Chains A and B, each alone.
Chain A
């Protein structure tokens, strides 16, 4: 087990390096804006643009820039400084993490609380009216873009802009340490918006997996032994059906910890997703690089955790 974790960790580091390098290449090879010219403004002389380019280190070949970046990252855990406003990317990402964690973890709890029960109910009553209604609703939820769903929820339920002014408005997010009540209220709509698509997807996946599992021989054996149906479903059926769901959940959490971009934009939550969006709009490479690396780290880390968890959920999995 120890050797496996070490090997996977080394692969993870290599993967992060590749992701980082690719971001650099994309920014340099494809026609993106010149950060020095953007920083200098339209009325600036070429001399000023040139000097700013030197100050930002952009006059060096991109592989040298990449090497300097890596060195800073490894030696000082320095993610660089924004071209746009000179702020430390690391500080920005860390200061925004609580907001993103709040959105992601809350959203995850909501989508699991909705998705799993709906999936189970649909699976044990396949082709019933309840199943069709639930799966139909899921399809609608999956199809509705987060951006659209977010705006609709704001115009229906948010204070100030909504028809029923129940929940916090866009931009009302405060850190949990500042005011728990306001924090909770400001996140209800983002949680449900984020959870809508995921819950629907998880419901459909749980249903499919569980239906398949319930046709396995060992389920028939369990029933033949006289076990109660609830025990058969929860102890024998669900355990196997949940394995791929855990994989997906791990990857989705990792992805969202890198920034739930659309949700954070619509609800104006100052998280990493919002930061990534602003960085793209401003052609701010260090910020883009930082958020990509951060997102990639969580995805890789979540994959690692999921792979380890597999052993506990599925006895057939071993670590070689």
Chain B
């Protein structure tokens, strides 16, 4: 999971989005709600300004792993596949066509486009060897890529140990300048989808190798581009358009050939201005001083005002975030080793009150399972869509009677939990701290005495919930956003029992159910998309029914545009503006 902007939202305002009922016209079940703007025929020229509260994580495409950063990475770099606005269907970008899968799923062949060139100072044509080097450097700890092992570890010869050098991977072959072949150790249903990750964007070895030496690569500060834009640099290639925490300036890449790309690249210049308070930033967008929000959602108070003003409302779009917030119950620690105790919790949780801690209906729909509505027919509907809810209650406010019935099945004759005190580790700031308080209050109704340890959000993950030996009974503030729209990217890391790690563990429930593991193993190797999505839909149902984790929110992310620009929203990337499709009116 790349870092979501929700992390920033938690700090800044704690409010993200809106349900379908309240938003602009043209809404769809799974797409960008309010997106009715044409993407073609924009005017060339001008400058677009995007505002953000924080900074990018890494400019280096090999290290970038943050929703906001991707808005910059995908217009400056060309991975093999990418997405058009309002779409979750991968489209060949550097690739000339969609990859072909052969040899029973063990060989994936990609042909890349002719005539794609690196920006100055490299200036030469991109070859398949540049893609090979880009992926190989992802396994170098100096680059520190966060997902290379998860998605590309299946390539033959991929390192199993992490080292401080760029390895040579035998399973990546380049028979000619425009062909790259991946030999896999086993069929992978997710591999082709993963070719949209920025790690597949070409990196010229002869230029980058000197920056990749040592314990921390500095290629990001000297990177070259293949997309329509590049981060402003000097003649030697040193980036000059990035001032950390202040701004990032993108200018046209003089070597970009529009005939090789589907991006219109209307604007001449894109400026990402950083450090904005969300309230001030929202006002500036409304006044036309800036053109869209990057990493912060407009605060709830502003959203309500915007929605009550018809002209402003039409500038607002809502995008599902491709994931769910959930409460993880530690299945390896009593009392949640007992399925019925977990089910009691699932019944009694007041999910409506939990959503209110993040702004109420304006923040999204109450989740009843894990695969979110933006997946549509690639998993959401197969999991039962909006109709699947194994733990229903009136107004989603919890059902004490059913919870007590479950506790009786678990051996608590009174229907109230009478075991020892349990612990939850929660955020120490709103809205997470408030959500945790609702969880504790809900559990109190059926006899639980919950001790809450409050820590910084990041510490909650990296010191407690992500470290099994320190893990509490409950992690009430966890969530996951899929890297791309394959259900495996949504469920595998969180619920496959073979993924439980000693540190940086994201299977927060430590769920290790042999039946679920077995079906996951099968689905991961399934190459037929329809069958694969059906299997993952079934897996979603099994996980939800196990009550190892209780989903409670499918968030949607608001993107606000100024009236001086056209809209282009990335459905695949949680509503980030696609600046290569935006134009100044």
Q: A residues bordering B, Cβ < 8 Å?
A: 31-34, 37-52, 55, 81-82, 84-87, 92, 95, 151, 154-155, 159-161, 169-171, 265-266, 268, 270, 274-275, 278, 281, 283
Contacts and interface: CB of A to CB of B under 8 A. Distances in A.
Contacts of B283: 154-155, 160-161
Given A33-B461, A33-B463, A46-B504, A41 B149 contact: no
A265 B54 contact: no
Q: 6 closest A-B pairs (Cβ-Cβ)? A: A41-B146, A33-B458, A34-B462, A51-B141, A55-B215, A37-B462
Interface in B259-278: 273, 275-277
Contact of B275 (A84, A151, A274): A274
B149 to A, nearest CB: 5
B297 interface: no
B556 interface: no
Interface residues of B, number: 56
Contacts of A41: 1-3, 65, 146-147
Contact of A85 (B55, B147, B277): B55
A32 B142 CA distance: 24
26 contacts: A32-B456, A33-B461, A34-B463, A37-B503, A38-B462, A41-B1, A41-B2, A41-B147, A43-B146, A43-B493, A44-B149, A46-B504, A47-B149, A47-B162, A48-B144, A48-B149, A51-B162, A51-B164, A55-B215, A86-B216, A151-B280, A160-B284, A170-B276, A265-B277, A268-B273, A268-B280
A40 B461 CA distance: 13
Interface stretch (B114-122, B242-250, B369-377, B390-398): B242-250
Interface in B487-506: 493, 501-504, 506
A84 B59 CA distance: 12
A169 B289 contact: yes
B455 interface: yes
A44 B456 CA distance: 21
A170 to B, nearest CB: 5
B213 interface: no
B519 interface: no
A31 B506 contact: no
Interface in B438-471: 455-456, 458-459, 461-464, 466
Contacts of A40: 144, 146, 504
A38 B280 CA distance: 28
A170 B277 contact: yes
Interface of B: 1-3, 11, 51, 54-55, 57-58, 65, 141-142, 144-147, 149-150, 161-164, 215-216, 218, 243-246, 273, 275-277, 279-280, 283-284, 287-289, 455-456, 458-459, 461-464, 466, 483, 493, 501-504, 506
A44 B150 CA distance: 7
A274 B55 CA distance: 12
B277 A268 contact: yes
A42 B506 contact: yes
A48 B162 contact: yes
A46 B503 contact: yes
A63 to B, nearest CB: 20
Nearest to B59: A85
B332 to A, nearest CB: 17
Chain B residues touching A, majority SS: loop
Contacts of B280: 151, 154, 161, 170-171, 266, 268
A155 B279 CA distance: 10
B501 A46 contact: yes
B163 A51 contact: yes
Contacts of A32: 456, 458-459, 463
Contacts of A52: 141, 144
Contacts of B501: 45-46
Contact of B55 (A39, A161, A278): A278
Residue from A41, A47, A266 whose CB has the most chain B CB atoms within 10 Å? A41
Contact of B466 (A37, A86, A268): A37
Nearest to A278: B245
B49 to A, nearest CB: 10
A274 B246 CA distance: 10
A283 B503 contact: no
B295 to A, nearest CB: 12
B246 A270 contact: yes
A37 B456 contact: no
Given A41-B65, A44-B504, A85-B58, A283 B149 contact: no
A42 B218 CA distance: 22
A281 B493 CA distance: 26
Contacts of A37: 461-462, 466, 503-504
Nearest to A155: B283
Nearest to A33: B458
Residue from B55, B58, B275, B458 whose CB has the most chain A CB atoms within 10 Å? B275
Given A33-B461, A86-B218, A171-B284, 11 more contacts: A33-B458, A33-B459, A41-B2, A42-B461, A43-B146, A44-B146, A51-B162, A265-B275, A270-B246, A278-B245, A283-B458
Contacts of B244: 82, 85, 87, 92
Contacts of B279: 151
Contact of B150 (A43, A85, A265, A270): A43
A101 to B, nearest CB: 17
A281 B55 CA distance: 11
A47 B161 contact: yes
A31 B455 contact: yes
A33 to B, nearest CB: 3
